[in-house]
Amino acid sequence: MDKPNNKAASKPSLTYISSGNRNRIIGLMVLSLILWLTLVTLNGNPLGTLENWYTDHARHSYVSSLFLKDGFAVFSQPLDTLASQDNSIYKFITWPEMPHLYPLGSIILFLPFSTLLQTGANSHLNL
C-alpha cells in the first residue's frame, strides 16, 4: 500500500514575519499614529477638517441626520434640495448639486456622530 502524501494533507499556513520585520512594521505604525495625532492636535478648525483637502467626514455626519428624516432620498436627491427643507442645528453642505455618493454603511458609521452633533454636543465650539 502507498503511504498518503503528507504535503497534500498539510494545512495552509500564513507566511512567517521575522522579528526584525515585525519590529519595523510596529515602528511604522507607531510613527503613523504619532503623525496623525499631531495633525489632529495642531489643527485649529473646530470640525477637525483639513481645510479644503478633506471634508467628507463633516458631510457624512450631516447626511446621516438627513437620512433619519428623509430616508433613502439622500441617495437620489441633491443635498441642497434636502438641506433647503431642513432646520437642523448642524449643517455641512459640500457638493450641493450631488446626492450622497457613498454606500449605506457610511451613514450607519456616522450616525452616532450625527446624533451627538444634532443634540448640541458640540455647542461649546461656537461654529
Tell me the pLDDT tens digit for each residue of 81-117: 998 888 887 788 878 888 988 889 999 999 998 888 8
Name the one residue in this structure whose C-alpha cell is 477638517.
Answer: 49
Q: Are 73 and 82 in contact (CB under 8 A)?
A: yes
Cα 125 from Cα 117, distance rounded (Å)? 11
Q: Is 51 a domain residue?
A: no
- CA 86 from chain centre, in angstroms, equals 24
pLDDT-above-90 percentage for the chain:
27
Same domain (yes/no): 84, 62: yes
pLDDT of residue 66: 92
Same domain (yes/no): 76, 28: no
Same domain (yes/no): 29, 68: no
| pTM recorded for the entire structure | 0.56
Q: If residue 81 lies in a helix (H) or strand (E), which one and from where to where?
A: helix 79-84
Same domain (yes/no): 120, 61: yes
Range of the domain at 22: 6-42
Name the one residue in this structure whose C-alpha cell is 503528507.
Answer: 6
Cα 44 from Cα 67, distance rounded (Å)? 29
Same domain (yes/no): 92, 35: no
